[in-house]
Chain A
């Protein structure tokens, strides 16, 4: 799809890539968009059009990454968006995958224990993601937003993800396990539902990590921080 601009219709954006609904939701826009354009919606919800289009284009096009443009936006805006993304994972995505997984296990014959083991792997990834969200909320985001702290204090507050396998890798592994190594009896519809749910998380986390690692982390390193009130 061509890049989204202020004249693009919201309905076209969603029809082209239904997963964008979840991104729009973080800006307070829900289904029933009529024939509103990006410009209309942003005015109605008090959203910065440039920020909105940058985020959507980053989400839709894997190769699009307006690093310089994104770095112009206020820390408050970026942190607000990332916080909403975190809540979306916590409140909706993870429980959704978990629900499908539990149904899948409940319907499978008891001797099929490879599903139970995969679920344990999912739980491990889930707990790690929840831990990261908790850390963002209580430590990293408040630190980035506060210009009182010294640079060292802020640098120390950054999440340390280098030491272990990344969450992204684990999600990839989980998908590959389901796609390549699932065996025994199981409900095929529920199996597909689990794969689809994990896959949408993978796509979301990937673009979310680009914003975290390439925008917010450099800012928390280098820039004199502006006041923000999240």
Chain B
């Protein structure tokens, strides 16, 4: 199951540790705590799904977070809202914090990645694989590049858990695709 990548970066160590424990226990998410001073360096590599930060981190990295409002959660010690970002009052009761976070973490579109239904295009590629065509022929038939065919095949294999050509052909037969 795909679990969102979460980065926590605050100036208060216990705040970060507490947040990480709550995410693990309530949402089964393993958050990554990042040292504040190195924040900017760490983030550049792989883009996380959520940032949990305190106000100070927000202010010092404003240009970074403003375009990422939808995936930023600001930890505060009052109920004031900040520029339509999600805020969590860390002095609130645990179940209130969970209730605040629940819709945010749920709504995120990472759930789509975990789906194993094929898109129309992927089904089409699968049908051609099952009919014995090689990548070059599939690319020609669908008028797409070989790289696109390869990327469709990779997605098909991830979704179905089947990688051999004959396995895919039998799957297509089972599901009336050929």
In the complex, the answer to whether B171 meets A177 with C-beta atoms within 8 Å is yes
In the complex, the answer to whether A176 meets B162 with C-beta atoms within 8 Å is yes
Docked Cα-Cα span, A177 to B171, in Å, equals: 8
- Which residues of B are found within 8 Å of A124, using beta-carbon distances? 166
A120 contacts chain B at the CB level, 8 A cutoff: yes
Given that A124-B166, A165-B166, A170-B167 are contacting pairs, would A117 and B174 also be in contact in the complex, using a CB cutoff of 8 Å?
A: yes
Interface size on A, as a range, is 10 to 19
Query: Which residue in chain B gives the minimum CB-CB distance to A114?
Result: B174
In the complex, the answer to whether A173 meets B163 with C-beta atoms within 8 Å is yes
In the complex, the answer to whether A172 meets B163 with C-beta atoms within 8 Å is yes
* Most chain A CB neighbours (cut-off 10 Å) among B164, B166, B171: B164
Choose among B160, B163, B170 the residue that contacts A117 (Cβ–Cβ < 8 A). B170
B150 vs chain A, min Cβ distance (A): 16
B140 vs chain A, min Cβ distance (A): 23
Interface 1/0 per residue, B138-166 and A, CB below 8 Å: 00000000000000000000001111111
Docked Cα-Cα span, A118 to B164, in Å, equals: 14
Interface 1/0 per residue, A120-155 and B, CB below 8 Å: 110010000000000000000000000000000000
In the complex, the answer to whether A118 meets B160 with C-beta atoms within 8 Å is no
In the complex, the answer to whether A121 meets B166 with C-beta atoms within 8 Å is yes
B176 vs chain A, min Cβ distance (A): 10
Choose among B164, B165, B174 the residue that contacts A181 (Cβ–Cβ < 8 A). B174
In the complex, the answer to whether B174 meets A173 with C-beta atoms within 8 Å is no
Choose among B116, B160, B164 the residue that contacts A169 (Cβ–Cβ < 8 A). B164
B173 contacts chain A at the CB level, 8 A cutoff: yes
In the complex, the answer to whether A177 meets B162 with C-beta atoms within 8 Å is yes
- Which residues of B are found within 8 Å of A120, using beta-carbon distances? 170
15 A-B interface contacts by CB (under 8 A) = A117-B173, A118-B170, A120-B170, A121-B166, A165-B164, A166-B164, A169-B163, A169-B164, A169-B167, A173-B161, A173-B164, A176-B161, A177-B170, A180-B116, A180-B160
Interface residues of A (CB under 8 A from B): 114, 117-118, 120-121, 124, 165-166, 169-170, 172-174, 176-177, 179-181
